[in-house]
Amino acid sequence: MNKSKKLIRDTIIYTIALFGSKLVSFLLLPLYTSYFTSNEYGNWDLITTTVSLIMPFISFEVLSAVYRWLLETKDKEERKDIISTGFIYTIRNILIFNILVVIALNMFDISQGIVALIMINLSILSDFIQMCVRGCGYNKQFALIGVAQTIVTLLSNLFFILLLHTRLETFFYVSMLSSIVGIIVGWYTLKFHQYVSINKYSRKILKSFLKYSVPMIPAAINWWIMNASDRYIIALGLGASANGIYAVSNKLPTIISIVNSIFFMAWQDNAILGYKDKNRDIYYTNVFKYYFRLMATMCILLISSNRIMMRVIVNSQFIEAWKYTSLLYIGAIFSAFSSFWGAGYHGSKQTNVILKTTLIGAIVNILINSSFIKVIGMYSAAISTVMGFFTMWIMRIFNKNASFKIKVNKRDFIVLILLMILTLSCSYYESLLIDCILIFVAIVIFIIFNLDIIRRISELIKKKFIVQKENQVI
């Protein structure tokens, strides 16, 4: 199988794995915004933001190292060494973290502290097992886990909200049930127990893990700053209710994040495995050309339909969120482009570059946001997000020490960025006629620039259908 076909196949598999769960959270937005107050939604957003900050300190990002090492070996004994070392180290860290939290809970009155602790423990274990499933190349099984979690997430949300009428604790319970399903299904599909043995624990392997993963801890923190510090600045400067509105404004850009998450998982596999190939740079450049077109034209289409979608899916108390969403779409695609380069740096094991570029992007984000939050309100958070991710992406492009080279198509870049800015400007004219014209033009732009991708996917699906039909005849 050639690289392009493998990338498309892996992308389809990861779409099955991730799209459902991501789509459910998006489709539940009307229910959330009508059931929860902006204050409740804002508080939950701060909780998830805090948890995402804590996680790297518990896992030491060893999960990423385990995945990276598993990709490079097919030997079962070596996989036992890798998984056992990573799992035992992770369990040890979880136990230490739990002891510290229990001590803190006895000293301070922290609301929902025990529930949050259980949620974090389950989440780390679920992530570890799923990362092992991916690293061993069982992508279809990974997709199965995603489907199972999607079903549980949807049903448990409906159960707790519509039947039990629980409030903030709903989010905790749903997250815990989803993680439990991930652990059970992942353990069963991988037969995880056969890969874990105390005798297989290796200090040498752990040392190599930490050399790779430790630079990713501050990088993860900086990434957290890029994505999440806005929430704290808004909550402190404008209040939890304003943060709830901003949290909703971040929900629609998750459409871009969903596409990026799906593609990134497939791209990361292929970028790492193909890093040593002779034609690596040509391959990377060619993939990015199509990826840039897809993400940029999708951004234009979403910006043009932003206000209409917001009025349809969110409650009136959150409607103001549309003003910031268009800017956050642009921030999301710059984040996606940064991740594309990040996969290359993972392939070369240059995690120090990821750290440096993310740190500078985070500093730009915080400086802009904190300087203008009192002047232009939540616009400062949206603008700082765009500028922070753009800075990070540009730095990764022009990094002199990069051991790979991805060329950006200048014509595509200039044309699509200008069209994006023009669409953004026009979208602030509150006119249904202008919205409809923008949507029509955006659809045309999307089709023109992505015609090659549409043809390739159509041909792949057509061939698959013909093969299945021939097998049925035989």
Distance CA 452, CA 337 (A): 20
Average confidence (pLDDT) per 10 residues, the chain, 474 residues: 60 61 69 75 73 79 84 84 91 92 83 83 91 83 83 87 83 89 89 88 88 70 65 72 74 72 65 69 84 90 86 73 85 86 72 80 86 84 89 86 81 92 87 87 92 76 60 52
| Confidence at residue 183, expressed as pLDDT on a 0 to 100 scale | 92
Distance CA 356, CA 259 (A): 26
| Confidence at residue 92, expressed as pLDDT on a 0 to 100 scale | 93
Distance CA 57, CA 92 (A): 13
**166 neighbors 173 (Cβ within 8 angstroms):** yes
SS (H, E, C) 60-77: CCHHHHHHHHHHCCCCHH
**304 neighbors 435 (Cβ within 8 angstroms):** yes
In DSSP notation, 344-401 reads HHHHTT-HHHHHHHHHHHHHHHHHHHHHHHHHHTTHHHHHHHHHHHHHHHHHHHS-TT
Burial 334-356 (b: 16+ CB within 10 A, else e): bbbbbbbbbbbbbbbebbebbbb
State both tokens at 338.
């940064």
Distance CA 128, CA 192 (A): 11
Distance CA 416, CA 414 (A): 6
State both tokens at 449.
């620039």
| Confidence at residue 52, expressed as pLDDT on a 0 to 100 scale | 75
**172 neighbors 156 (Cβ within 8 angstroms):** no
In DSSP notation, 262-311 reads HHHHHHHHHHHHTTTSTTHHHHHHHHHHHHHHHHHHHHHHHHHHHHHHHH
| Confidence at residue 441, expressed as pLDDT on a 0 to 100 scale | 92
The amino acid sitting at 294 is L
| Confidence at residue 21, expressed as pLDDT on a 0 to 100 scale | 60
Distance CA 180, CA 175 (A): 9
Work out the angle between the directed axes of helices 3-27 and 451-473 (0-180°, nearest 10). 100
**244 neighbors 40 (Cβ within 8 angstroms):** yes
Distance CA 439, CA 389 (A): 26
**38 neighbors 72 (Cβ within 8 angstroms):** no
